Structure 1
Amino acid sequence: MRNDQVTLFSLPKAFTGHSGVIQRNAVRSWVHAGHPVILLGTDEGIAEMAEEVGATYIPDVAMSDLGTPILSSAFQLASAKATTPYLGYINGDILITQSFNLDVSKLGDDFLCVGRRTDVDIEWEVDFDDEHAVAKLWQIIADQGQLHPKTGIDYFIFPQESSLLKIPDFVVGRPGWDNWMCDRTWKLGIPMVCLTNHLTVGHQNHDYGHIKQYRGKAWDNPETDKNRALQDGVHRDLEDCTWRVNETGEILPRYRQLARMHSRLARFGMQGIVIRCLHGLRCGVALLQSQLYADVLLTVKQSRSPESAKTQPAS
């Protein structure tokens, strides 16, 4: 799975003020990294941004009563228009800092890739035709950025035919739907892969002045209530990823999380008794693998400790 095989789609806000600066940076970074791009919505400047970078523009996305785009509509429209084997929803303030090339064959036909973001203050437009300016930006992210907690999820990559394309009518930019997506992978028994150690993405900090009828926390409003109702109390985040990618791009299982997922499916899954028993068996295997993996790590750690070195016989 390469950048050029993943069409990124997004629902930007109006390209005005500081939001315009950081969104132009974000979209240009996606194109610079080699992604095909789809921009959806009718807010000011979206059509012009799409034209500038050669992105596909789709204006007719469904809206909430407050005029905020509905994610289920965007997912279906982007899937119908994209021609790549993979899709990725991404928030309009996220910078893609690098290329990637992952062998996803071991994950099967359906999976979800997610990862943590690095928060950074960016106040200027970046010229992505100037490699020195781009290199400076990446260095600022590395030096000044703060890794966000595992609860923040700003991009979702999945196959074009993924079962994750069918989502409730969540409103974009409000809490809840990202946690629902993570929980959905557990209910379906499909891999959720953490890319944090392999892919750095920059989140350009901003205010929440665009949110209508906000209250309490800056992103809370009546649309938040709707999202929470659709979320139905479930909460999973990046801590629940069942697979991870290391620094060299190798995809590795997280055995304890796999065991937890299969245990849940064995107890509460909607499949027949045979399938649920298979999940129970997989839970046991994953627990055994987890213990073996922990034993290996402990042995390696002990062999490298100073106390161990002192007890080694002289050669």
Structure 2
Amino acid sequence: MNHFKTSLYAFSNSDILYTDTLIRTLAQMINSKTIYFSRPVLIVGCRTNVENVTLEEGLHWENITRISQSRGKQFTEWAEDYFITSPSFPWNEVPEVVVGRPGYDNWLVYNSRKMKYNVIDATKTILAVHQTTLAGNNEGRNHSNRDYNLDLLNKMYKGIQYKKGVVGCIEMYTQYESKQFQVKTRKVRFSCKV
């Protein structure tokens, strides 16, 4: 962020493959009249798990789309693997968590919702394919420091409601309707209220 000035910044788990849907969605968001960049923006979404992605399959957007449709399965709403933010997002206030371990993703979404930032679920417009290996889909839970984030965040913030930081609790979402990009608002279940 210190080296480049842009409308949005992102980080992603390194085992995720994207297609042109990422670029198209972000371009649409930047030009959207629905998103107010006066407040911090956080864009996240669910991934699609695909086992044993070959080099050839991962080389082209069309192949990634094809394998996601033929062999892919959308993962749980609890797992967020990419985070796209506006320059005003207060990263300096985020605790020193370990990326890839449980808790930081749901805390980040929950805290952003609680702070009334513009939090957007882009699952319907960004294809994020997780390259599932023999380690499986819960690899972060198999490390000796798997509870580091949960321990740290629970010490810092009493009563964190991680379940309110899942993708299904995000009020704003993206979609294409009649080939038109839209940012819409949905009514979330009562248990999601912050």
Does the pair score TM above 0.5? yes
| Candidates 173, 185, 191, aligned match of 2:118 | 191
Q: CA deviation at 1:123?
A: 4.0
CA distance in 1, matches of 2:51, 2:170: 28
Q: Decide which of 85, 88, 110 is 2:7's aligned counterpart.
A: 85
Report the CA distance shift for 1:207/1:92 in structure 2 as closer, same or farther (over 3 A): same
The structural deviation recorded for 1:187 is 2.0
How many Å separate the matches in 1 of 2:76 and 2:98? 22
Query: Partners of 1:89 and 1:218 in 2: how far apart?
Result: 17
**Once the 2 structures are TM-superposed, how far is the Cα of residue 165 of structure 1 from its aligned partner?**
5.0
Aligned counterpart, 2:34: 106
Q: Which has the larger radius of gyration?
A: 1
Rounded Cα–Cα distance in structure 1 between residues aligned with 2:63 and 2:98: 35
Q: Which residue does the alignment assign to 1:115?
A: 45
Deviations 1:95-139 (A, max 9, x none): 1112313234433221211111110023422387x7xx5423321
Asked if structure 2 preserves the Cα contact closer than 8 Å seen for 1:96 and 1:202, the reply is yes
For 2:12, give the aligned amino acid: I
User: Tell me, which stretches of 5 or more residues in structure 2 are unaligned?
Assistant: 155-159
Q: Distance in 2 between matches of 1:105 and 1:164?
A: 25
- Could you tell me which of 119, 139, 142 is aligned with 2:69? 142
Q: Provide the rounded CA distance (Å) in 2 between the counterparts of 1:186 and 1:218.
A: 24
Report the alpha carbon displacement of residue 208 of structure 1 after superposing the two structures with TM: 4.1
Secondary structure at the counterpart of residue 181 of structure 2:
coil
Q: Point out which structure has higher relative CO (alpha carbons under 8 A, 6+ apart).
A: 2
Q: Which has the higher strand share?
A: 2
Pick one of 242, 251, 266 that aligns with 2:171.
Answer: 242
| TM score, norm. by length of structure 2 | 0.77
Q: How many angstroms apart in 2 are the aligned matches of 1:104 and 1:164?
A: 24
| Conserved 8 A contact 1:164-1:184 | no
CA-CA distance at 1:156 after TM superposition: 0.8
Letter in 2 for 1:83: K
Task: Specify the alignment match of 2:16 in structure 1.
Answer: 94
Task: Go from structure 1 to structure 2 and tell me whether the alpha carbon gap of 1:250 and 1:203 turns closer, same or farther (over 3 Å shift).
Answer: same
Counterpart code for 1:241 = I
List runs of 5+ in structure 1 lacking aligned partners: 1-78, 210-216, 265-315
Q: 1:218 to 1:207 in 2, by over 3 A?
A: farther
Going from structure 1 to structure 2, the CA distance change for 1:143 and 1:186 (only over 3 Å counts) comes to same
> In the alignment, is the contact (CA less than 8 A) between 1:119 and 1:147 conserved in 2?
yes
Say yes or no: does 1:219 pair with 2:141.
yes
Q: Counting helix residues as a fraction of each chain, which structure ranks higher? A: 1
Distance, in Å, in 2 between the alignment partners of 1:126 and 1:166 is 41
C-alpha deviation, 1:149, in angstroms: 1.4
Runs of 4+ aligned structure 1 residues displaced above 3 Å come to 255-258
Per-residue deviation, 1:229: 1.6
Supply the RMSD in Å over aligned alpha carbons: 2.7
* Distance (Å, rounded) in 1 between the aligned partners of 2:106 and 2:61: 32
